[in-house]
Structure 1
Amino acid sequence: MTLEQNAESILREQLVVLLKGGFAPNVILLQEFDYKKAGVMLDGLHFSAWVLLGHIKARQHTLLNFMKDPENNPDVWPDAHWPENHTPETKEEWESAISDYESELQEMIDMIAKPETPLFQKQANGLTLSWAALTTLHHTGYHIGQLKTVGRQLGVW
């Protein structure tokens, strides 16, 4: 294995770990969040945990579509999707949203882990699949931090 191949392999492994949430796995945090509190909007905030989850899912979905088919999905940063409803209707709706997030996250992770996925090949829009993975990591991490803070204020943890 060349030095370049080794570095790429290490990067793939690290991206997989970090996309899952590192030492605080995102899916576990979401599953621990009491859905009855997922619609609470704290004073001064324009979002609830439910809105954050919807926003995270929408951006991840856009970036995953780019990774799967960059030629037909070049717009990787459309207007931000912020769900209008602030509360999940049922526990099942909350759990389904988490499951959908987890499924698409796993799909992205599986792509990243495959050595044949061209992480560094520039696409027509000038971006790479590694950029999309890193952007997902950054964006999700930012909003998971907000969700964790909201949860602490609401006594979830």
Structure 2
Amino acid sequence: MNPGNETDKLIREQLVELLKGGFAPNVILLREFDYKKAGIILDGLHFSAWILLGHIRGRQLTLLKFMKDPENNLNVWPDAPWPENHIPENEQEWNDAVTKFEDELEEMIQLVKDPSTDLFSIRSNGKTISWAAMTSLHHTGYHIGQLKTIGRQLGVW
């Protein structure tokens, strides 16, 4: 047994678990959220659940592009995309956005799972694929926590 291969496998498995949301899977939380409440901005906040979803997707997509083609997508931390519209037009628009989030997340997961993906090669911007995956899971987790709090305040859960 090559311990390096076991460590690599373990790191990939753990990154995948955390990208999915760990004990609170992100896609399940998004699917459970009542789209009719997704446009409500609570007092003291500058965002709704819909805005958070758009922001999460925007950052995730930036990091996914880097992971797919690092040398042509070096700007991994551009200005944060915050959607201007705070409410989905209808349930279909909410569901489509969640599906796109899920599809993009799955692409990221497949890259992490692929043993031929070099997770630790330092790119010309000083970043690695593992950094992008960890940044995505951290950023998503932070905002999913906000979304969960909003949902609790609105009686979603």
TM tier, shorter chain?
Answer: over 0.9
Cα distance in 1, alignment partners of residues 147 and 3 from structure 2: 39
User: Aligned pair 1:2/2:38, yes or no?
Assistant: no
Deviation at 1:5, TM superposition (A): 2.0
Give the residue type in structure 2 aligned to 1:85: N
Give the residue type in structure 2 aligned to 1:93: E
Query: Structure 1-normalised TM-score?
Result: 0.99
Runs of 4+ in 1 over 6 A off after TM superposition: none
Cα distance in 2, alignment partners of residues 4 and 95 from structure 1: 41
Q: Which residue of 1 aligns with 2:70?
A: 70
Deviation at 1:23, TM superposition (A): 1.2
Q: Which residue of 2 aligns with 1:42?
A: 42
**Equivalent position SS for 1:71:** helix
Task: Report % sequence identity.
Answer: 68
Correspondence list, 1:113-128, <5 A: 113-128=113-128
Cα distance in 2, alignment partners of residues 22 and 49 from structure 1: 20
Correspondence list, 1:60-99, <5 A: 60-99=60-99
Q: Write the deviation string for residues 92-126 of structure 1: whole angstroms up to 9, x where unpaired.
A: 00000000000000000000001110000011111
User: Aligned pair 1:30/2:12, yes or no?
Assistant: no
Q: Write the deviation string for residues 34-55 of structure 1: whole angstroms up to 9, x where unpaired.
A: 0000000000000000000000
**Equivalent position SS for 2:89:** coil
Deviation at 1:2, TM superposition (A): 2.2
Deviation at 1:145, TM superposition (A): 0.2
Deviation at 1:60, TM superposition (A): 0.2
Q: Write the deviation string for residues 115-155 of structure 1: whole angstroms up to 9, x where unpaired.
A: 11000001111100000000001000000000000000000
Structure 2: unaligned runs, 5 residues or longer:
none
Cα distance in 1, alignment partners of residues 46 and 104 from structure 2: 26
**Equivalent position SS for 1:122:** coil
Query: Structure 2-normalised TM-score?
Result: 0.99
Structure 1: unaligned runs, 5 residues or longer:
none
Q: Which residue of 2 aligns with 1:57?
A: 57
Give the residue type in structure 1 aligned to 2:151: G
Root-mean-square deviation (CA, aligned residues, Å) is 0.6
